[in-house]
Amino acid sequence: MLIFLAPGQGAQKPGMLSPWLADQTARAHLELLNEAVDFDLLEAGSTWESERIRDTRIAQPLIFASSLVAAYAAIDAGAQPTAASGHSVGEWCASVVAGALSAHDAIRLVAARGVAMAQACEQEPTGLAAVLGGTRADVVDVAQRHGLVIANDNGPGQLVVGGPIDQLTELIATPPAGARVRRLDVAGAFHTDAMRPAVATMATLASTVTTNEASIPVYSNRDGASLTDGQQILDQMIEQIALPVRWDLVMDSLESVGATAAVELCPAGSLRGILRRRLPQIETHLVNIPSDTSSLAVSDLRTTDLAGVSQ
C-alpha cells in the first residue's frame, strides 16, 4: 500500500523549484498555478532567499505548488498512491492528489490561507516551540500551567506547543523533565485558537468551491480518520487551521492499514524522519527533483487503483 505524503510549512528551501522549472511538463503546471497567486511563484521558488520565502504568505502556496508538481511527476513515473495525507498545509496537496479539489481551487485557497494566517498572527504576539523528549503527559501538564496548548503532535517525544510569546519564554526557561524546548521561527501560534480569525475568513472563501468525491482516501490531521467526502475534507482543512495537527494519529492509521511504502513530496525529508522513528517498516522515497522519480517505476509502488488527480 503506497501513501503520498506532503510536508508542511518550515520545509521550504531556497531554489527548490529550480529543478522543476527545467522540466517542461512541471514548468507548465507551475505556470498555471502561478496565475492564481499575487506574487511570482516561479521567481520565489528559484531565486528568492530564505528570509523572503519564510513569510507565511509566500511559504504556503510555494510548498503546495512544489509538492503538487512532484506528485504529478511521481504518478507519471508509475507510482500509484492508494491514499494520501499531508502535514498542515500539506493536506491541501493531498486533497488534490485524491481528487477532492482541483489544483486551481486549492492553490487559490492556500494562498488566501497564508494571508489569513499571517493577518491573524499580527493581532497578538504568539509563537510555537518544539518540545523534544519528556513524556507526553508531563509536556501537556507543564504547557498548560504556562497557558500554552499542544499545536502539533508528531508522536512520542515530538510535540510542538503554542501560545503567547511571554509564556513560551517561561517554558523555555523551565522545560518539562527530560525535555528541551526550542523556539520555532514562525510568525505565530499556528493550529491554536490564535488562528480563529483565519478560520472565519477561509470558511467564507471556501463556500464558493466545488468539491468532488475523492478517488483515494485522505488521512486527516484532525484524528487520522480516512476521508473520501470532498466537502468533509475541505471543511476539516479549514477548521484545522485552529486545531492541533495530530500527525501521531495519521501514523497510527498508516500502521493499521498496513502501509508498506510512502512517497514524500517536495520539499521532502522532514516527514521521512518522523516515519523512520515511528514506522521504520515503511519504505520512504523522497521526490525533491524530477530525476528522483526514476526510482518510483518499480512494481511495489504500482497498485490496481490509479490516483484521481484533478489538474
Phi first, then psi: give them for residue 158, nearest 5 degrees.
-140, 75
> What's the pLDDT score for residue 311?
41
Res 310 pLDDT > 50? no
Other Cβ atoms less than 10 A from the Cβ of 138: the count is 16
**pLDDT of 78 above 60:** yes
64-68, 101-105, 276-280, 306-310: least confidently modelled range: 306-310
Mean pLDDT of 218-244: 98
**Band (127; pLDDT cuts 50, 70, 90):** very high
Interval 52-70 mean pLDDT: 97
Mean pLDDT of 270-274: 93
Read off the pLDDT of each residue in 52-73 and give the average, rounded to a whole number: 97
Residue 297: pLDDT over 70: no
pLDDT at 300: 53
Give the pLDDT of residue 305.
37
DSSP secondary-structure letter at 9? T
CA geometry: angle 85, 229, 62, nearest 5 deg: 40
Residue 253: its pLDDT value, please? 97
The pLDDT, as a whole number, for residue 309 is: 41
Distances (CA, A) of 260 to 36, 79, 96, 255: 36, 13, 22, 9
Query: What does the pLDDT average to over 113-140?
Result: 94
| DSSP three-state, residue 41 | helix
* Confidence at residue 275, expressed as pLDDT on a 0 to 100 scale: 93
CA end-to-end span of the chain? 24
What pLDDT is stored for residue 243 in this prediction?
Answer: 98
With the C-alpha atoms ordered 140, 143, 148, 154, is the resulting torsion angle positive or negative? Answer: negative
Copy the grid coordinates of residue 2.
Answer: 503506497
Is 28 in a helix, a strand, or coil?
A: helix
Q: Which residues are catalytic?
A: 88, 191
d(CA 79, CA 301): 5
**Percent of the chain residues past pLDDT 90, beyond the cut:** 91
pLDDT tens across 275-294, in order?
A: 999 999 999 999 999 999 99
Confidence of residue 241 (pLDDT cuts 50, 70, 90): very high
- Residues 6+ positions from 51 with CB-CB distance below 8 Å: none
- Please answer whether residues 153 and 159 qualify as being in contact, where contact means their C-beta atoms are separated by less than 8 angstroms: yes
- On the question of pLDDT at 147 being above 70, the answer is yes
What pLDDT, on a 0 to 100 scale, did the predictor assign at position 304? Answer: 35
Q: What is the mean pLDDT of the chain?
A: 93
In the predicted structure, residue 82 carries a pLDDT above the cut 50: yes
- Looking at residue 156, what is its pLDDT? 83
- Tell how far CA 284 is from the center of its chain: 17
Q: Following DSSP, what letter does each residue of 119-177 receive, concatenated?
A: HHHTTS-EEEEEEEES-HHHHHHHHHHTT-EEEEE-STTEEEEEEEHHHHHHHHHSPPT
Q: How confident is the model at residue 236 (pLDDT cuts 50, 70, 90)?
A: very high
Q: What pLDDT, on a 0 to 100 scale, did the predictor assign at position 129? A: 96
Neighbours of 183 (CB within 10 A): 14
Q: What nine digits make up the cell of 194?
A: 490564535
| Stated length of the chain | 311
Give the model confidence (pLDDT) of 164-202 as tens digits: 999 999 999 999 999 999 999 889 999 999 999 999 999
Could you give the domains of the chain? 2-121+192-301 (3.40.366.10), 126-183 (3.30.70.250)
Whether residue 220 has pLDDT greater than 90: yes
Cell numbers standing for residue 305: 487503483
CA distance 56 to 13: 13
d(CA 238, CA 230): 13
- Extended beta strands in the chain, E state: 2-6, 83-86, 126-133, 149-153, 158-164, 179-183, 218-219, 226-227, 245-246, 261-265, 283-287
Looking at residue 303, its pLDDT comes to: 45
